[in-house]
Every structure is written in C-alpha cells, then in structure tokens.
Amino acid sequence: MAAFRVILGCMLIASATAFNNEAEVAANPIRKVVSMLQAMQKKIAAEGDKEKELFDKFNCYCQNGDQALAKSISEAETKAPQVSSDIEEGESQVVQLKADLKSHQSDRAAAKAAMAEATAIREKEAAEFASLKAELDANLAALAKATAAIEKGMAGSFLQTADAQVLKKLVLNENAMAEYDRDELTAFLSGSQSYAPQSGQITGILKEMADTMTKSLNDATSDENSSISSYQGLMAAKTKEVDALTRSIEEKSVRLGELQVSIVEMKEDLDDTQKALLEDKKFLADLGKNCAQKTKEHEQNMKTRGEELVALADTIKILNDDDALELFKKTLPGSSASFVQIEVTQRQQALAIVQAAKGTNSRPELNFLVLALQGKKVDFSKVIKMIDNMVATLGAEQQDDNDKKEYCEMQFDAADDKKKGLERGVSNLKKAIAKETDAIATLADEIKALEASIVSLDKSVAEATEQRKDENKEYTELMASDAAAKELLGFAKNRLNKFYNPKQYKAAAVLADVSAHNAGKVAPGPPPATAAAYSKKSEESNGVIAMIDLLIKDLDKEMTEAKTTEKDAQGDYEQAMKDSAEKRATDSKTLADKQKAKAETTSDMEANTEEKAATTKTLMATLEYIQSLHAECDWLLQYFEVRKEARTGEIDSLKNAKAVLSGADFSLVETGRRLRGQA
C-alpha cells in the first residue's frame, strides 16, 4: 500500500508539472491521471497499428528484396560520384561567379568614373573653344568690314563704328604683328589728321591678319572636332563597356541564382542517394539476419505493448473504483501549495537565466578596450592604436555589409523572378494538361464516331453492290426473255405472212429447225372426212399480225426502258460507289489524322506531366534556396541601416575617444611637470 502511495504521488507530481494552469490545478487530479492513462492507451494502440503496417511492408520486402537491393546499390554507386563531381564543379563555378561579379562591379564603377571625368574635361574644352571662336569670329567680322570700307573709300565712316574699336583693341593686343604694321594700323584707326591714307598697304595688312586668324580658327575648329570625335569614341567605348559589364552582372547573377538552386537540388539528391546506399548495403549484408531479428523484435514489441496495455487497463480500473476515489478525497493534500512553490521556483530560475544572459552581445574589442583603460598603467599609444584598428575594422565591416546587401538584393530579385516564372510555368502546364485531357476525350469520341461511320458506310456499299447484282441479273433475264419472245412473235408473224401474205414471208433457218424438230414425229393415220374448200381469213389474220406487231413494239419499248433503267441504275451505282469511296477515303484520312492527333496530344500531355513534375521540383528547390537566402540575408537587410548608423556612431565615438586621449596625454604631461616644479 505504501509503494502504491509513492507511485501515485509521483504520477500526481508529473500531472501537476504537465498541467500547471489554474483551471487544471483546480480539477480532480485522479481524473487527470485516468485521462492521461487513457490517452496513453490510445497512443500505444495507434502505435501498434502503425508498427504492424510497417512490419507487413518490411516482411514483404524481406521476401523479395535481394534483387531490388542489388540493383539499387549498383545505381546509387554509379550515381553518387557523378553527383558529387557535379556539386564540386557547381560550387567552384559559384566561387568564380561571385569573384567575377565583384570584379565586374569594380570595373563598371571605374568605367563610369572615367566617363564622368572625360565629360568634365570635354565640357571645359568646349567652353574654351566657344569663347575662342566667338572672339575670332568678332575679329574676322571687324577685319572684313574694315577691308570693305577701305576698298569702297569709306574708311572715315568705318572709323565711327564699334567694329573699328574692336579692330583697334585687336591690333594693340596682337603680339605677333610687326611693329611697323601696328603703327600703320593704329594711326589709321585713330583717324589722325596727319595720317596720309595708304589704302593698299592697310588692306594688305588687314587681309594678312584675317588669313592668320582664319587659319587659327580652322586649327582650333579642327582640334575641337578631333576632341569631340575622341570624346564620342571614348564615351561610346565606355558606354559599351558599362552595358557589357551590366549585362554580365545581370546574366551572372541569374546564373549564380540558378546554379545555387541546382546545387541545393544536387545536394539533396546526393544526401538521399548516400543515405539510401548506406541503408541498402547495411540491410543487404545481413538481410536474413535482420529480417529474423526484426521479426523477433516485432513479436517482442507486440507482446510488450500488449502487457503495457493490460497494465494500463488494470491501473485505470483501480483508479476508477468508487472506493479508491473516496479514499483519494480523504488522503490527498490540497493542490494549491505545491503548485505555487513550483511556480516560484520556475520564476527564480527564469530570472537567473535572464541575468546570466544580460550584456552578452557586447563587442569583444570594446571589452578589451575597457580592460585596457581600466588598468593601472595605461599606454595611450597602444590604446590609440587599438582605436585606429577598430575604426579600420568597422569600415571594412561596413563595406562588407554594402557588398553583401547588393548581392542579397540581386539574388532575391533573380530568385523571386525565377519563382514567379516557375509558378507561372506550373500553372500553365496544369492548364495545358487539363486542356489536353479534354482534347483526348473529345478525339476519342470523334474517332469512335468515325469508325462507326466507316463500318456503316462499308455495310451500305456491300448492300448496294448486292442489290446492283440482283438488279443486273433481273435485267439480263428480262432482256433475254423479251428477245426470245420477240423472236418467237416474229417467227409467228412470218408464218402467218407465209400463208396470208406470201410476199412478206421471209424464209428463216428457224423453220428448218422447227421442221427438224417436228420431223421425228410419227406420221398420222388416214385423215377423216374433210370439209368444203377453205377460204382464207385474211381480214382476221391482219388483225392478228397487227396485234403481234403491237406486242413486238411493246417488247421493244420494254427493252428500251429496261436498258435506260439499267444504264441509269448502273450510273447511279457507280456514282454512289465513287462518292462512297471518296467519303471513305476522307473519313479514313480524318480518322488517321485524329488518331495521330490523339497520339500526339497524349504524348504532349505525358511530356507536360513530366515537365510539370520537374518544374515543381525546381520550384521547390528555388523556394528552398530563397529560404536559405532569407536565412543568410534577412537579418542583414532588416538591420542594415541600424548597423550602419550604430557603426557610424561607434566610429565617431572612437574618434572622439582618440581625441580625448590625445588631449589627456598632453594634459597629464603638463600636470606632471607642475607637480615636479612644486616639489
């Protein structure tokens, strides 16, 4: 009884730990124990059913597993090295692609900087040329007007214009001009009364000046055009370089994303293959032993599980007994105290854990810096050097964050685009498969209808042919009968004509035949007494002959109609056979086309189904890659600005500390000197 109380107490403590909210504490603990035991019963029974199902499959495998395992092992041993090689090659390509991307980014930045510098230089040169051209154009215009005025004898009026002042200023500033020419032009432009006009000499000087300036303008224009051409060539080359680098960055970013997704797929495949290979080898090595052992373990498990279920059932029966429940009400202590103590203990432990974890995120370098400053003997030069090193480290960390941020953003964009494309692909393939399934069903119905139509057509053709044969047979028989009747009527008419109309009689071989036919008959006996002489019935015979002619005419008409009917029937039959043959050929071709279309549609559906499975697999790998990108990049992207701001503040603080330390060092030296002087 005491042992039972100990067990029961342990169960109550476990129950209190598992159900620690106020509503559960207030409930009857024995009911909770019973509920727990009943839940255990259900769980154990479910596990037993699951284990039996698995063992049945396992036992089936034991019976037929040798060949399957050998084949699986052979395939895995062939596949694993190839996949490993592909993964190594892929990872090597990833490293190279990342290096290429960083190099392309640096080259693109350098090219853009060169373009900006060239643009600034070109703008400066263009401004200088524009200023020079404007000045030379103004001077040439003044020279041209002066020359024209002098040649027209209007020098006096020209001297009153602004162009004259421009020309005068030009002459005074032209260092390359001969002094004599300068004096001549100056005197001319000044309008001195003592100056004796020498038009030819002045115009010569002016034209020489104009030629010199024109040559200078042409040279400057040529230089400007050459600079423009060089600038345009440089900009075209650098633009092409930037575009090529941008395309390379985009293409290699896409390739990098796809390659990393492919590596994820290959690693999963390799892991699955290696695990399956190890399991297959291990299982094949001791197949018989393992099967026997598993069978024994299964039987033991079932036995133990049965015993456990019996024990649980007995325990539930004991705890559910009315006497036991009454006893528990009297003996069990109040439920509040123990749970409150447990709650307090848990709170204390949680507080201790929080206190222990407090301040664990400080930068180690700062801790070392604090330790260094807290020492009794402080070497400020070392501390300052530590600060400089930390500033450099923080700058490098920020640059790494910048590069990583660009990489993450590009990879997220590329992976998201690929995910959307794959999702669209899967959706489109689903629609295509559904459409192809409907098309196959429709084609099957149409093929069935065509086959039935061809069978029906063949049957109609056979029936029409049989009918035509019967009709032709009837026609042949009719023509033969009518011909015989017509011949017989002709014979009869000819016989009548022999008697009544001898002139119309025609001797015929058939009479001989008839005579021959009658020749074999026995001669009659003596004739009886005869009547008086006979008179011919000529009038009556004429009516008979006319009747025979009418009958012959009717026979001719019937034969003519029969021929026409036969001809029409034969024509209709031949046309029907032709139309039937054409329809059968058309239906047969249509049937073949639809059978071909059905086969092609079925092939397309199977191909789309396979492609959908492959696309879905790639989509899953892409989602896994995106998940890995989130694991790699989310924290950085989320806290990038915070880290940048904190790092900037930390750098500023370090620089301020360095400044303070530098000032402190100087003040300490001065303080030391004053103290020594006072001593």
What are the tens digits of pLDDT across the range 484-531?
888 887 887 787 777 677 777 787 554 434 343 344 444 344 445 444
* pLDDT, tens digit (0-9, with 9 covering 90-100), for 39-49: 888 888 888 88
Residue in 286, 275, 287 with CA at minimum distance from that of residue 61: 287
Kind and range of the H or E run holding 663: helix 538-678
Residue in 275, 542, 260 with CA at minimum distance from that of residue 408: 260
pLDDT band at 134 (very low <50, low <70, confident <90, very high): confident
Q: What is the pLDDT of residue 599?
A: 93
d(CA 656, CA 652): 6
> What is the average pLDDT across 157-183?
67
Q: Which residues are CB-contacts of 595 (< 8 A; sequence separation ≥ 6)?
A: 447
pLDDT band at 466 (very low <50, low <70, confident <90, very high): very high
Handedness of CA 403, 405, 409, 412 (dihedral sign): positive
Instruction: Check pLDDT > 70 for residue 293.
Output: yes
d(CA 422, CA 364): 46
Distances from the Cα of 279 to the Cα of 52, 80, 283, 285, angstroms: 21, 14, 6, 10
Local structure of residue 318 (DSSP, 8 states) = H
Q: What is the pLDDT of residue 438?
A: 93
* pLDDT, tens digit (0-9, with 9 covering 90-100), for 6-46: 334 444 444 444 444 444 444 456 676 777 778 888 888 88
pLDDT band at 291 (very low <50, low <70, confident <90, very high): confident
Q: Can you say how many angstroms the Cα of residue 415 is from the centroid of all Cα atoms in its chain?
A: 11
pLDDT band at 2 (very low <50, low <70, confident <90, very high): very low
Instruction: Check pLDDT > 60 for residue 465.
Output: yes
Q: What is the pLDDT of residue 524?
A: 42
Q: 497 and 504 in contact (C-beta within 8 Å)?
A: yes
* pLDDT, tens digit (0-9, with 9 covering 90-100), for 217-257: 899 999 999 999 999 999 999 999 999 999 988 888 888 88
* pLDDT, tens digit (0-9, with 9 covering 90-100), for 347-406: 333 333 323 333 444 555 544 544 554 444 545 567 667 777 877 887 888 888 888 888
> What is the average pLDDT across 631-653?
82
Q: What is the pLDDT of residue 526?
A: 44
> Rounded to 5, what percent of the chain is helix, strand, coil?
90, 0, 10
Q: What is the pLDDT of residue 646?
A: 79
DSSP string, 74-103: HHHHHHHHHHHHHHHHHHHHHHHHHHHHHH
**Inter-axis angle of helices 364-374 and 380-500, to 10 degrees?**
180
d(CA 312, CA 305): 10
Instruction: Check pLDDT > 80 for residue 547.
Output: no
d(CA 185, CA 469): 132
Q: Where are the alpha helices (DSSP H) in 321-379?
A: 322-331, 336-357, 364-374
Residue in 382, 135, 421 with CA at minimum distance from that of residue 258: 421
Q: What is the pLDDT of residue 679?
A: 43
How crowded is residue 315: how many other Cβ atoms within 10 Å of its Cβ?
18
> Which residue has better confidence, 332 or 238?
238
Instruction: Check pLDDT > 50 for residue 141.
Output: yes
Q: 305 and 44 in contact (C-beta within 8 Å)?
A: yes
Q: What is the pLDDT of residue 506?
A: 80
Min mean pLDDT across 172-181, 209-218, 531-540, 550-559 is at 531-540
In the structure encoding, which two tokens stand for residue 555, read together? Answer: 């026979």
> Which residue has better confidence, 636 or 652?
636
522: left (phi over 0), alpha (psi -120 to 50) or beta: beta
Q: What is the pLDDT of residue 353?
A: 32
**Domains and their CATH numbers in the chain:** 108-267 (no CATH), 380-516+539-678 (1.10.287.950)
Residue in 260, 241, 256 with CA at minimum distance from that of residue 106: 241
Q: What is the pLDDT of residue 18?
A: 43
**Average pLDDT, whole number, for the chain?**
75
> What is the radius of gyration, based on Cα positions, of the chain?
61
Q: What is the pLDDT of residue 176?
A: 62
